[in-house]
Amino acid sequence: MVRGEQQTSPWVWEAKDYLERVIRITVTFNEGTRAITGVTGFRDSGCLYTKILIGTSADGVPDDTDKVVNVPTGTTSLTQGQINQLAARGLATIENILALQITAGR
């Protein structure tokens, strides 16, 4: 996609540690309703980052956010219940996610 275009499904975000080991999140969503339909995490073995931090706490600290996706080594898909939990915390659509900062934590 290019500047100004609306995000299409899937949306992918990743970070690398100092040895270039990857942690990644892939979010699928309904391009019409923009509702999140799936969340999958991937993490290289040994990657120092273990979780995706979406948003911050009230004092601006990402580690204190309540919107956390823990990512074990390998590929992990969130259950519908976990997706619903994220939705309950304000992440129901892709724009909900894109509106917040994203980083990875240990």
Partner 1 sequence: MAPVVDAASPAIATNTTSANLTTGSFNPPACLLVVELGGDGAGNMTPTISNNGTALTWSNRSERDLGDAGAQSGHSSIHTAELTSGRTGMTVTAALSGTGAGAKALKVYCVTGYDSADPVGNAPGEGSSTTNSITPTIISAVESANSLLFVVANDWNQLGTPASSDLTIDTYNISGSISGLMGRKAGPGSAGSSATANLDAAGSSAPAWNWASVEIEPAGGTTFNQSVAGTVTPAGAVVRQPGKALAGSTTPAGALLRTAGKALAGAVTPAGALTRQVAKVLAGTVTPAGVLAVVKAVLRSFTGSLTPAGVLARRPGKALGGAVAPSGAAARSTAKTFAGAVSPAGALATIKAVLRSFAGTVTPSGALVRQAGKQLASSTTPAGTLVRRAAKTLSGALTPAGALGTVKAVLRSFAGSVAPAGVLGRRVGKALTGAVAPTAVVVKLLARTLAGTVAAAGALAKQQTKTFTGAVGPAGGVAAAVVATPPPSVVPRPNTGTVTRPDSGVVHRPFTGTVTRP
State which of residues 9, 28, 56, 85 lies at the interface with partner 1 (CB under 8 A).
56
Quote the tokens at residue 23.
């942690």
Q: Which is nearer to partner 1, 48 or 87 (CB)?
A: 48
Q: Which of residues 71-100 bind partner 1 (CB under 8 A)?
A: 98-100
Q: Binding marks (x or -) toward partner 1, 9..38, rule CB under 8 A?
A: --x-xxxxxxxx--x---------------
Question: Residue 103, interface with partner 1 (CB under 8 A)?
Answer: yes
Phi, psi of 40, deg, nearest 5: -125, 135
Residues 60, 29: Cα–Cα separation, whole Å: 27
Burial class of residue 50 in the structure, from the number of CB atoms within 10 Å of its CB (0-12 exposed, 13-18 middle, 19+ buried): middle
Phi, psi of 38, deg, nearest 5: -160, 145
Site for partner 1, rule CB under 8 A: 1-7, 11, 13-20, 23, 48-49, 53, 56, 60-63, 98-106
